[in-house]
Structure 1
Amino acid sequence: MTAQSISSEAMLDLRGVESCYGNIVALKKVDLTVNRGEIVTLIGANGAGKSTLMMTIFGTPRARKGQIIYEGRDIAGLPAHEVARLGIAQSPEGRRIFARMSVYENLLMGAALGDPSSTAGDLERVFAIFPRLKERLTQRGGTLSGGEQQMLAIARALMTRPRLLLLDEPSLGLAPLVVKQIFDVIRDLNRRDGLTVFLVEQNAYHALRLAHRGYVIVNGRITMSGTGAELLARPEIRAAYLEGGH
């Protein structure tokens, strides 16, 4: 899929979203759009509000103000399990796999919301994407390497057959070679399957090279947006997120 063939129809549209932890306002009037077929990334420093925004889409915490429009419907008031049933899947920060469960059992947890008759086919699909998981099928999740755990977290999300995939810091703590492999998988899922991806990343260079469009968040506010190439070329982005090693 090329940038030219991407639909201009918004799949996810955040309008004036505010989110709080107690009296602390974590997101401040956030406006953000993910169009169908796009990879959109959100970059920012630690504590800027990236993961909070991702979790707010799933209702934990709830948006205190604003709208979260998904495929024409405001989902801001829905509980997380109902959001998941709408075709949104999340691979959360820190992977959060079930450490005592096997790889197979973790994948079945991802399939829980789907049609049982499609589970076998979905397993073969994720094994084609991540062959290592098939080799580790009976191994406990907690004994996998960091890269394998990230593969498992993404594969578990894919088992739900999502139309929108939310990825929170997929490169966190991984070796450069594994990071490249993960980003190649994300690109292939978008180009080959047309999967829409919203990616939260601290690795600005890889994220902006991958994304069709990007947003920058600072202290809970969106401060900048543009295509991935445009943001990569901006000197303030290079100074804050690339040259400084953040």
Structure 2
Amino acid sequence: MNQPSQPLLSLQGISASYGSITALHNVSLDVPAGQIVTLIGANGAGKSTLMMTIFGMPRAHAGRIMFDGQDISALPTHQIARLGLAQSPEGRRIFGRMTVEENLRMGAEFAGHREFERDLQHMTTIFPRLKERLHQRGGTLSGGEQQMLAIARALMSRPKLLLLDEPSLGLAPLIVKQIFRVIADLNAREGLTVFLVEQNAFHALRLAHRAYVMVNGVITMSGSGQELLSSPEVRAAYLEGGRHHDAAAAQLEISQQGETP
């Protein structure tokens, strides 16, 4: 387990809206350098909105977002990416008509292509399946292969911080284990800092140094991954069939334990 360090990413009192609907309410959390931090919550809790708000889509209308000591709250998305943040978004969003190699070249744009061949070899070592599919169109890959490609494409930019949005969504259990094993190895061996948004609370909390629970756009609990994994409230809401609860049901379960703010 990595030792605590200064936050590489710090969200301070963030609120954000889609039109007239406020999706995030005064959210504060830290992602220390060299750690894996996870945010769990039911579908519709606001997790993906938070991930997108970090990149300014939507723009936070209150609070500030600090990355590597710099306030990025008002920066354009492309400038944020150039600072060393990379995202593997929910739904993968690979370029379906491009080959695997072309997708990876797109990921390398912000890092430049000077070390492309070296980085390509690194990605195909991490994900051997991609080496077999280099000249295959992304849209013809299986769901698991597309998720591998989405993560590898993000890593090609050599990020300081990797944002992963629901990497296990729709994947078979064996593929899910493989994806989470890769995340753990990248953190342990290369010191990669990871902010993971995930509905699969069991795998996410086992992986995390620190974790947060979000309900209806509000952070309701925080602690080490192990603390939340052992929490009766979290177990009831997310680990004992609760993964399939909607956000309202999850909020009710947690509020019955006195955890709502």
Match of 2:226 in 1: 229
Cα distance in 2 for partners of 1:116, 1:178 equals: 30
Displacement after TM superposition at 1:229 (Å): 0.5
Displacement after TM superposition at 1:114 (Å): 1.4
Displacement after TM superposition at 1:7 (Å): 4.3
Are 1:57 and 2:54 counterparts? yes
Partner amino acid, structure 2, of 1:157 = A
> Which structure 2 segments of 5+ residues have no match?
244-261
> Which structure 1 segments of 5+ residues have no match?
none
Match of 1:156 in 2: 153
Cα distance in 2 for partners of 1:88, 1:232 equals: 28
Any residues of structure 2 matched to 1:69-148 within 5 Å, and which? 69-148=66-145
Are 1:36 and 2:33 counterparts? yes
Q: Contact 2:24–2:217 (CA<8 Å) still a contact in 1?
A: yes
Given candidates 14, 20, 23, the residue that maps to 1:23 is 20
Q: Contact 2:236–2:242 (CA<8 Å) still a contact in 1?
A: no
Q: Contact 2:6–2:33 (CA<8 Å) still a contact in 1?
A: yes
Cα distance in 2 for partners of 1:45, 1:79 equals: 29
Q: Contact 2:94–2:138 (CA<8 Å) still a contact in 1?
A: yes
Q: Please list the CA deviations of residues 11-32 of structure 1 after superposition, one character each: whole Å capped at 9, or x if unmatched.
A: 0000000000011000000000
Partner amino acid, structure 2, of 1:55 = M
Displacement after TM superposition at 1:116 (Å): 1.8
Given candidates 238, 242, 245, the residue that maps to 1:241 is 238
- Give the number of equivalent residue pairs: 243
Partner amino acid, structure 2, of 1:13 = S
SS in 2 for 1:33: strand
Percent sequence identity over matched residues?
70
Are 1:212 and 2:209 counterparts? yes
Are 1:177 and 2:174 counterparts? yes
Greater displacement, 184-193 / 235-244: 235-244
Return the TM-score normalized by structure 2. Answer: 0.92
Partner amino acid, structure 2, of 1:43 = I
Cα distance in 1 for partners of 2:233, 2:242 equals: 13
> Which aligned segments of 4 or more residues in structure 1 are displaced greater than 2 angstroms?
none
Partner amino acid, structure 2, of 1:158 = L
Cα distance in 1 for partners of 2:71, 2:55 equals: 12
Partner amino acid, structure 2, of 1:228 = G
Cα distance in 2 for partners of 1:35, 1:137 equals: 34
SS in 2 for 1:63: coil
Q: Contact 2:37–2:195 (CA<8 Å) still a contact in 1?
A: yes
Are 1:165 and 2:175 counterparts? no
Cα distance in 2 for partners of 1:63, 1:179 equals: 32
Displacement after TM superposition at 1:43 (Å): 0.2
Displacement after TM superposition at 1:8 (Å): 1.6
Cα distance in 1 for partners of 2:142, 2:41 equals: 27
